A and B are shown apart, each in its own frame.
Chain A
Amino acid sequence: MIDVQLPARRSGVIAFTDIVGFTQLTDLQGDDAALEALERQDAVVQACLDQRGLVVKELGDGMLLWFDDAADALRVGLDLQRGFEQSTGDSDPLWVRIGMHFGCPRWRGKDIIGRDVNLAARIADLAGPGEVLVSQPVADAAGAVDGIAYESLGPVFVRGISDPVPLLRAYAL
């Protein structure tokens, strides 16, 4: 059971993870394999978070994460992708896409809601397996982070958000 604690600050990074192809994997390999994939995802997430962030909630085949510190969010995001890649077996892929946005969501108990949460989810939709996509505010809040660089994808429109969002692909140097 994951223990969620309210963060000290209200502004921070909202991150969504999503296992690509989870439905098909479940269909092909059965519920036990699906459960095993989720447990592997949990194990990688818990190992990588290491007090730097928290799991707000689990979302079936993904997770909603929270980080007080944007640089930590970026480091954890790339650590997660390395962990998922190492955790992928020959016949049981664990492909995960990650999207992040820096904002000030509203806390509702141990959950977060609001435009910034929706935007983070839409950013994750644009990521490919193994990628970490972030909005410009994440990079601005993080400042220069050793070992991490960005490729600008430009201002993009995402579903349900009226204004274009400057988007970046974060990658490890």
Chain B
Amino acid sequence: MTDVVATRLAITSRSGAITVEAADVVDVSVNGAGVRTEADGSMTVIGERSAAITVTCPAGSAITIGTSSGTIELKGRFANVHAVTGSGSVVVDHASSVDVRTASGQVHVGESVGVCRIVTRTGNVRVGRAGHLCVSLRSGRVAAGDVGSAEVRTVTGNVVLSALGLGDVDVRSVAGSVDVSVPDGVRPAPELSSMTGRVRCDCQTGTGGVIRVQTVSGSIRLSTR
């Protein structure tokens, strides 16, 4: 096992794909961009216009990425991840926390141990596991797996959420349908309301985590799995 020192990396590039791999390495290696070490020990990677950037860094590194367009792919295990792109898909394997913002494009997060915040206008959002999910989406679809607690806002986007039933879940949508499930045996406290949409509760209720879902026209379903 290599003695790895986690790093803080900021990557800025106007466009072009950015791929970062967190691996069992000590040093940071960069292809397609220049590197500058800051006074506080963090590293700044500055890309050339439209050039693809490939970075290998120690596992557990904190990453901040800003680009106006281009896909972002983070492979491996990271600390805190911040990524902002004007357009382009974002993929994060595993992180302590995630903040992703994109105007359009798919967002896929494998696991965020803590907060997983995703702000996007259009595009599908898929999250495998998150301690606290916080998603804002205009149109598209939100599909999230094991979620401890959640705050989700969509305009027309549909939501499919597998809650663990431990923390509170708050989903609000104007016109999207919302489907929340909890594990069999969990008895959540549901607060479901829709102005014109159909509301169904197919699970036993109790005093578990609050499942609050509000829509204007979208249908709502709470079930067990």
Contacts and interface: CB of A to CB of B under 8 A. Distances in A.
B82 A154 contact: yes
Given A90-B214, A153-B82, A153-B84, A159 B174 contact: no
A25 B216 contact: yes
B96 interface: no
Contacts of A90: 193, 195, 214
A114 interface: no
A20 B84 contact: no
B100 to A, nearest CB: 10
Contacts, number: 88
28 contacts: A20-B155, A21-B155, A24-B156, A25-B174, A28-B174, A28-B196, A90-B195, A90-B214, A93-B172, A95-B172, A125-B103, A128-B101, A128-B117, A128-B119, A128-B136, A128-B153, A129-B153, A151-B99, A152-B64, A153-B99, A154-B65, A154-B82, A156-B66, A156-B101, A157-B67, A157-B84, A159-B86, A164-B12
Interface string A88-100: 0011110100000
Interface of A: 20-21, 24-25, 28-29, 90-93, 95, 125-131, 151-159, 164, 167, 169
Given A24-B155, A128-B136, A167-B84, A91 B64 contact: no
Contacts of A152: 64, 82
B14 interface: yes
Given A20-B153, A93-B172, A156-B84, 5 more contacts: A20-B138, A91-B193, A128-B134, A151-B99, A153-B99
B66 A154 contact: yes
A167 B66 CA distance: 10
* 4 A-B pairs with least C-beta separation: A154-B64, A128-B136, A157-B68, A156-B66
Given A20-B138, A154-B65, A91 B12 contact: no
A28 B10 contact: no
Contacts of A157: 12, 14, 66-68, 84, 86
A29 B196 CA distance: 10
A155 B67 CA distance: 9
Given A153-B82, A167-B84, A91 B195 contact: yes
Nearest to A27: B175
A127 B138 CA distance: 12
A29 B84 CA distance: 33
B224 interface: no
A127 to B, nearest CB: 7
Given A91-B214, A93-B172, A126 B136 contact: no
Considering residues A91, A129, A156, A158, which has the most beta carbons from chain B within 10 angstroms of its beta carbon? A156
B217 interface: yes
Nearest to B137: A128
B216 A91 contact: yes
A82 B151 CA distance: 16
A7 B20 CA distance: 47
A111 to B, nearest CB: 27
A129 B84 contact: no
Contacts of B216: 25, 28-29, 91-93
B101 A126 contact: yes
A151 B101 CA distance: 14
